[in-house]
Amino acid sequence: MIEYKYEDIFQDDPNNPGQTLMTIPPEVLKKQGWSEGTAVKISIGDQGSVIIEEVKENNEGQSQSAIKNDS
């Protein structure tokens, strides 16, 4: 598991006080096959971890979350 420092991922949004910007590291984007515009769902795990899942549309145009296998 790769760990990142809070300040490397999260920054205050200068255009929206009280809001936070999150940067997904390039190596994570590459490993997941994501790029700018990939729809993701972000949630917080029970121990404070950040969970990022790709959201894909099924054949009926409805969104569904998909977790990619780490192997």
**Domain interval for residue 26:** 6-57
Q: What is the side-by-side order of every strand in the sheet holding 50-57?
A: 40-44, 50-57, 63-66
In a structure prediction context, what are the per-residue pLDDT tens digits for the chain, which is 71 residues long? 778 899 999 999 999 999 999 999 999 999 999 998 999 999 999 988 889 999 987 655 555 555 444 43
- CATH number where 22 lies: 2.10.260
Name the pairing type of β-strands 40-44 and 10-12. unpaired
Instruction: Tell me the pTM.
Output: 0.65
Q: What CA–CA distances, in Å, run from 31 to 16, 34, 39, 55, 69?
A: 30, 8, 16, 16, 10
Total domain count for the chain? 1
User: Is 12 a domain residue?
Assistant: yes
User: Is 30 a domain residue?
Assistant: yes
User: Is 67 a domain residue?
Assistant: no
Q: What is the pLDDT of residue 59?
A: 59
User: Is 70 a domain residue?
Assistant: no
Q: Which residue has the tokens 């729809």?
A: 39
Q: What is the pLDDT of residue 14?
A: 96
User: Is 71 a domain residue?
Assistant: no
Tell me the one-letter amino acid at 5: K
User: Is 1 a domain residue?
Assistant: no
Residue 31, token pair as written in the block: 């490993």
